[in-house]
C-alpha cells in the first residue's frame, strides 16, 4: 500500500520563504512492504505533454540532460542504468517491452511531466512544471514509490529556461537539480 | 423592495434551482431504463448481470427495468435443447446529458448524472439468438450467435471484412485549464475474424492495459479498453462502442472520450 503523506508542507514553506528556491521537492510515497534497493533500473522518459507547443517544449529539461545527470547522481550507488526516451515513439508498449527483455531491469522508473503552469495572454508561456517519478518493481509489476520534483515559477526563480525568441537552450542546471532532488528523496525512503 | 432576508432567500432559491436543473439527464430520463429482451427462439431464460450483480431475470420475450450505468451489462440466455447465448451490452451517452454543457461550470450537473448513471443509456432492444445444441463447431467458441444492438435487420455475424491492424492516440485532458496533466495513450488493435485484441499504453504506466473489441459484419464495434490512467497503473476499464467509417475504427469511450484508430496499410511481401 502506498503511504500518503502531507505534501503541502514543503511548497508552503518555500512560498513563505519568498520563493527563493527554484525547485521544490515533495516527500515521496513508498510502498511500506518494499524493502529492495534500486539496482538495475530502466528509466523511461515521457517529458513532452501532448498539449505543448514547440516553444513551450523548449523550456523543459531534455532527455539527454536528464540521462547524464541521473547517471552521475546514481553512479556512487552502483546502479546500472538505461534511459529510454519515449516521446515520439510510435509503439511505446513494444519499445518498453523490448528494452525490458534486453536490459532485464529489476525496476522501471517512469518520469513524466505531471503538470505545467501556463502564464501570459495571447501567447501563453510555461512558467513552471512538475516531474513525477514512479518506480515499478518489474517482477511484481507494482508501483513501489512515487515522488515529484517541481520547477517553480520561472519568473520568481531567476533562472532562464529559454533563449531569445523562445529558442531552446541548455537545462543542465534543471537536470542536475532534478537528479539531486530525486536521489535525496530515494535515500530518505531507503531505496538507495 | 428587497430586504436582506428576502435577498438571501432569493439567492438560495436560485442556487437550488441551478443545482436541480444542472442534472438534466437525471431529471429528464430518470436513473432507470426499460429494455425489451427478445430471443430466437422465444422462451429463453435470460439473466442480466453488471459488475457481478444480478440486475434482472426474465423469460423472453420480456421487458426488464434496470438502473442506468456507464458499465456494460452481460446477458446470458439458456433454453433446453439450445446452446447458451451471450452478449455484453455497452452504454451509450444519453442525449439529455448534453444539456448539462452550458451550465456545467458548477460541475454539479455532470457529477449528478455520472453518479446516477443517467448520462448513459443502454439500447432499448436486446436480441439474443440461441443455436440448437450440436449445430455450431466446437472450436473456436464464437459469440456470433448474439445480436447486441437494436437494428432488427443487422446481421451481426463476425466477419473478416475488417481484419487488420489499427492504431491511434487518445489524450485524456487535464480537468483544469491553464495547467496540464494530460495523459497520452497509444492504442493498438489487431483484428482477426472480427475479434480485436490489443493494448492501451499510457505515458503514466509502463505496463499497458488490454483492449478487446468485437466488430460485426456491419462494421459495428463494441468492447472494452483498459486505460492505465495513473502512475499507480490502476485499471480504468472503459466500455466502448463505435463503427468502421472509411476504413478506420471510430470508438466512443464511456463515459466520455473519442478515439479514431487508423487501419494500417497492408505491406507487400
Mean pLDDT of chain B: 72
Compute CA distances B256 → A73, A92, B114, whole Å: 43, 24, 10
Q: CB–CB of A92 and B181 under 8 A?
A: no
Task: Assess whether pLDDT exceeds 80 at residue A45.
Answer: yes
On whether residue A3 sits in a domain, the answer given is no
- Domain coverage including residue A109: 20-187
Mean pLDDT of B133-157: 42
Domains of chain B with bracketed CATH: 31-147 (no CATH), 164-263 (2.40.128)
Considering CB atoms only, which of B171, B205, B206 is closest to A50?
Answer: B171
On whether residue A152 sits in a domain, the answer given is yes
Rounded CA separation B75/B47 (Å)? 6
Q: At what angle do helices B4-22 and B108-116 cross, to 10 degrees?
A: 40
Question: What kind and span of H or E run contains B112?
Answer: helix B108-116
Query: What CATH number did the domain enclosing A27 receive?
Result: 3.40.50
* Least confident segment among A43-57, B49-63, B148-162, B192-206: B148-162
pLDDT at A154: 67
Highest mean pLDDT: which range of A31-40, A117-126, B144-153: A31-40
A131-135: Cβ within 8 A, 24+ apart = A131/A47, A131/A61, A131/A178, A132/B231, A133/A109, A133/A182, A134/A109, A134/A110, A134/B204, A134/B205, A134/B231, A134/B232, A135/A38, A135/A41, A135/A107, A135/A108, A135/A109, A135/A110, A135/A191
On whether residue A192 sits in a domain, the answer given is no
On whether residue A1 sits in a domain, the answer given is no
Considering CB atoms only, which of B178, B182, B199 is closest to A49?
Answer: B182
On whether residue A7 sits in a domain, the answer given is no
- Identify all chain B residues contacting A118, using CB atoms and an 8 Å cutoff: 178-180
On whether residue A5 sits in a domain, the answer given is no
Cell numbers for A115, please give them: 503538470
Rounded CA separation A168/A58 (Å)? 5
Rounded CA separation B72/B50 (Å)? 6
Cell numbers for B218, please give them: 456491419
Residue A159 — very low, low, confident or very high, per pLDDT cuts 50/70/90?
low
pLDDT tens digit sequence for A105-115 = 999 999 999 88
pLDDT tens digit sequence for B174-196 = 554 445 567 889 999 999 988 99
Cell numbers for B229, please give them: 490512467
- Identify all chain B residues contacting A141, using CB atoms and an 8 Å cutoff: 207, 233
Counted domains in chain A: 1
- Identify all chain A residues contacting B259, using CB atoms and an 8 Å cutoff: none
Going by their DSSP bridges, the two strands B258-263 and A142-151 should be labelled as unpaired
On whether residue A9 sits in a domain, the answer given is no
On whether residue A75 sits in a domain, the answer given is yes
Amino acid at each position: 500500500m502506498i503511504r500518503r503523506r502531507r505534501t503541502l508542507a514543503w511548497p508552503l514553506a518555500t512560498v513563505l520563504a519568498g520563493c527563493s528556491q527554484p525547485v521544490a521537492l515533495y516527500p515521496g510515497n513508498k510502498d511500506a512492504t518494499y524493502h529492495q534497493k534500486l539496482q538495475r533500473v530502466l528509466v523511461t522518459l515521457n517529458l513532452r505533454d501532448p498539449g505543448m507547443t514547440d516553444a513551450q517544449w523548449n523550456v523543459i529539461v531534455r532527455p539527454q540532460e536528464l540521462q547524464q545527470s541521473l547517471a552521475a547522481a546514481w553512479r556512487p550507488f552502483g546502479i546500472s542504468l538505461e534511459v529510454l526516451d519515449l516521446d515520439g515513439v510510435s509503439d511505446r508498449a513494444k519499445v518498453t517491452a523490448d528494452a525490458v527483455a534486453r536490459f532485464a531491469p529489476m525496476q522501471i522508473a517512469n518520469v513524466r511531466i505531471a503538470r505545467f503552469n501556463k502564464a501570459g495572454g495571447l501567447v501563453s508561456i510555461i512558467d513552471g512544471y512538475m516531474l513525477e517519478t514512479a518506480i515499478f518493481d518489474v517482477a511484481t509489476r507494482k508501483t513501489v514509490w512515487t515522488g515529484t520534483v517541481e520547477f517553480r515559477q520561472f519568473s520568481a526563480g531567476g533562472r532562464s529556461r529559454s533563449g531569445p525568441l523562445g529558442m531552446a537552450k541548455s537545462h543542465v542546471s534543471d537536470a542536475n537539480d532534478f537528479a539531486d532532488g530525486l536521489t535525496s528523496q530515494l535515500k530518505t525512503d531507503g531505496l538507495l | 423592495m428587497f430586504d436582506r432576508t428576502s435577498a438571501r432567500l432569493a439567492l438560495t432559491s436560485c442556487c437550488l434551482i441551478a443545482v436541480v436543473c444542472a442534472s438534466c439527464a437525471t431529471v429528464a430520463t430518470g436513473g432507470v431504463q426499460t429494455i425489451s429482451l427478445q430471443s430466437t427462439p422465444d422462451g429463453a431464460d435470460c439473466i442480466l448481470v453488471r459488475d457481478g450483480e444480478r440486475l434482472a431475470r426474465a423469460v423472453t420475450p420480456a421487458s426488464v427495468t434496470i438502473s442506468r450505468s456507464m458499465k456494460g451489462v452481460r446477458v446470458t440466455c439458456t433454453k433446453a435443447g439450445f446452446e447458451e447465448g451471450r452478449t455484453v451490452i455497452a452504454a451509450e451517452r444519453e442525449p439529455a446529458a448534453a444539456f448539462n454543457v452550458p451550465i456545467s461550470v458548477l460541475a454539479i450537473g455532470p457529477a449528478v448524472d455520472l453518479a446516477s448513471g443517467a448520462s448513459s443509456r443502454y439500447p432499448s432492444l436486446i436480441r439474443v439468438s440461441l443455436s440448437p445444441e450440436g449445430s455450431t463447431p466446437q472450436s473456436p467458441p464464437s459469440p456470433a450467435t448474439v445480436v447486441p444492438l437494436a437494428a432488427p435487420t443487422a446481421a451481426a455475424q463476425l466477419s473478416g471484412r475488417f481484419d487488420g491492424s489499427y492504431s491511434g492516440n487518445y489524450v485524456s485532458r487535464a480537468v483544469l485549464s491553464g495547467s496540464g496533466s494530460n495523459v497520452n495513450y497509444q492504442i493498438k488493435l489487431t483484428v482477426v475474424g472480427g475479434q480485436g485484441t490489443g493494448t492501451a499504453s499510457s505515458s503514466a504506466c509502463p505496463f499497458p492495459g488490454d483492449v478487446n473489441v468485437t466488430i460485426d459484419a456491419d462494421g459495428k464495434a463494441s468492447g472494452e479498453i483498459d486505460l492505465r490512467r495513473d502512475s499507480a497503473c490502476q485499471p480504468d476499464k472503459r466500455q466502448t462502442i463505435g463503427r468502421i467509417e472509411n476504413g478506420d475504427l471510430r470508438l466512443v469511450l464511456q463515459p466520455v472520450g473519442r478515439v479514431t484508430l487508423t487501419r494500417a496499410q497492408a505491406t507487400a511481401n
